[in-house]
Amino acid sequence: MKTVKLGIAGLGHVGCGLIELVERQAELRLPGKLEIVGVSARSKSRNRPVDISGYRWFDDAATLAEDPEVDVFVELVGGSDGPAKFAVEEAIKAGKHVVTANKALIAMHGQALEKLAQEKDVDLMFEAAVAGGVPVVRVLRDSLTGVTINRVSGILNGTCNYLTTEMLDTGRSYDEVLEEAQKLGYAEADPTLDVSGMDAAHKAAILASIAFTADLDFSKVSVKGVDTVELIDLVLADRLGLRIKLIAEGLLTDAGVVCRVAPLAMPVEHPLARVNGALNTVRVEGDPVGAVTLTGPGAGAGPTASAVMGDISKLFTPTARSPFGRAKHHESRQFVDAEPAERSAFFFRVKLADRPGALASLTEALAAHDVSVNKLLQESADDSDVSPVAIVTHVCSRGDIDAASARVSALEASVGAPQVIPIDAGN
């Protein structure tokens, strides 16, 4: 039976989850045997759910990457640059296959690393970088090669989806739920990457690059997170029959590949509205398959480690094919700037001082920019006499709603910046 020898760098939630899986490999359906020849992390003594005392310790990930014993270097350090990138480059240069869960690294440097891996005839695999335990990279890259894909969309950040779901379900604050998502191992080491939309954007860009054989250019990706979404937005949207979620999408347009991440509101019966908690979902639309949807746990130690293990298990028979599934004869498309969808209905929330005429000044400001109200809901004022108002607009242009929002923001009665979220009717 063939043995594949692993060097594992990064012993956070996913690294420890992987060690646990390797230790119970007899229960898995692996084609051969795995052996851990060394591990590396920032701190050797940190309290961990697994015992690492039986493994060779490396202070430096790059030294582990080059170790002659290592067949496959597993990078679970994280970060687009710095030690993770250096160690991955050193591993490839030393002729090792690389498995990584590092979406930031792949989104920023994936194609340069692909070139290096192809020069060295090694595999670079990153199933765990996108959607945790949902095997979407391989499905897009290997299984859907017979499909002309025109759209890839979905929920790609477990932390943000957990936040919006739990805040609404339990009424707990953003900070409290985010802290819980960190404890559960969903969030990045720096959770601003999650809530800013950056993590989902990294993943969406990777998927778009594979789906559309496009040169990955992260600078063209439009990114908006859930960090401005308040509990009151979720609650009022719910009363208006809407759910707010962070949605990522990659689209093939005449101009090129558009990739964007932003909060969207959607009717409660929309298929994405029912994907809750730390679940991720990816919908691939193309000809002639129609739509394929994959849903599952998008974050957390076990699910992500299982995706890393899936990649490792492929390396019993390395193929050194393009990590992004590209061949020389494929047309290479380009990412282009993502403009927000031009026309839609919008969820619009503002906080108004509770005094006569405040509502009239709001509707006047909307009317001045041709924004027409479809539904309106006003909550009673809180202790500070501020009353939240939520509106579902009729379909209007993004330019008009932005201009109306600026006008509302400048009203004497308005407190803080309004919230403007496009509504995806799901057509």
- Active site amino acids: 203
**In 3D, which of 172, 160, 155 has the Cα closest to residue 231?**
172
Q: Least distance from C-beta 186 to ligand HSE, angstroms? A: 4
CB closer to ligand HSE out of 193 and 214: 193
Candidate residues 15, 132, 135, 296; the one interacting with ligand HSE per rule CB under 6 A? 132
Report in angstroms how near the CB of residue 158 gets to ligand HSE at its nearest: 3
Give burial (CB, 10 Å; 0-12/13-18/19+) of 264. buried
89 vs 127, which CB is nearer to ligand HSE?
A: 127
Cβ–Cβ under 8 Å, residues 72 and 97: yes
Q: Assign residue 95 a region (left: φ > 0; alpha: ψ between -120 and 50; beta: otherwise).
A: left
Radius of gyration of the chain (CA): 23
DSSP 8-state assignment for residue 167:
H
Cβ atoms of 248 and 206 within 8 Å: the answer is no
| Of positions 158, 225, 296, 323, contacts ligand HSE by CB under 6 A | 158
- Residue 159 as a binder of ligand HSE (CB under 6 A): the answer is yes
Rounded distance between C-alpha atoms, residue 38 and residue 57, angstroms: 6
Distance, in Å, from the CA atom of 210 to the CA atom of 112, rounded to the nearest integer, reads 15
208 binds ligand HSE (CB under 6 A): no
DSSP 8-state class, residue 248: E
- The correct pick among 75, 199, 249, 311 for binding ligand HSE (CB under 6 A) is 199
Contacting range for ligand HSE; rule: CB under 6 A; set: 36-44, 139-147, 185-193, 387-395: 185-193
Tokens encoding 266: 């959607």
- Between 231-239 and 158-170, two packed helices, what is the crossing angle to 10 degrees? 70
Q: Does 7 bind ligand HSE (CB under 6 A)?
A: no
Identify the bridge partners of residue 378 per DSSP, sorted by sequence position. 389
**153, 171, 297 from 156: Cα distances, Å:** 9, 23, 10
Interface residue with ligand HSE, options 40, 111, 157, 209 (CB under 6 A): 157
Q: With contact defined as beta carbons under 8 Å apart, do 8 and 40 qualify?
A: yes
Contact in structure between 299 and 158 (CB atoms under 8 Å): yes
- Residues 345 to 364 in contact with ligand HSE, rule: CB under 6 A: none
CB 211 within 8 A of CB 284: yes
What are 101's two structure tokens? 């869960």
Q: Which residues have CB under 8 Å from 75's CB, separation 6+? A: 9, 10, 61, 84, 87, 88, 91, 98, 99, 100, 101, 102, 105
Could you tell me if 334 and 219 are in contact, meaning their C-beta atoms sit under 8 angstroms apart? no
Crossing angle, helix 174-183 and helix 158-170, to 10 degrees?
Answer: 130
Residue selected from 66, 89, 194, 424 as contacting ligand HSE according to rule CB under 6 A = 194
Q: How far is the CB of 63 from ligand HSE (least distance, A)?
A: 27
Instruction: Write down the least CB distance from residue 10 to ligand HSE, Å.
Output: 13
Q: Which residue among 123, 188, 285, 424 contacts ligand HSE (CB under 6 A)?
A: 188
Our CB check for ligand HSE shows the closer of 77 and 423 to be: 77
Task: Please report whether residue 14 would count as binding ligand HSE according to CB under 6 A.
Answer: no
187 binds ligand HSE (CB under 6 A): yes
Identify which of residues 298 and 388 has a Cβ nearer to ligand HSE in the complex. Answer: 298
**Span of 84-92, 182-190, 241-249, 284-292 interacting with ligand HSE by CB under 6 A:** 182-190
- Choose the binding region for ligand HSE from 187-195, 208-216, 347-355, 418-426 (rule: CB under 6 A): 187-195
Q: Name residues contacting ligand HSE, limited to 257-286 (CB under 6 A).
A: none
Distance in angstroms (rounded) separating the CA atoms of residues 408 and 413:
9
Is residue 166 near ligand HSE by the rule CB under 6 A?
Answer: no
Residue 86 beta carbon to ligand HSE: minimum distance, rounded to whole angstroms: 22
Least Å distance between CB 129 and ligand HSE? 7
Candidates 184-192, 338-346, 377-385, 417-425; binding stretch for ligand HSE (CB under 6 A): 184-192
How many residues touch ligand HSE (CB under 6 A)?
Answer: 11
**What x/- string results for residues 299 through 338 when contact with ligand HSE is judged by CB under 6 A?**
x---------------------------------------
What residues make contact with ligand HSE under the rule CB under 6 A?
Answer: 132, 157-159, 186-188, 194, 199, 298-299
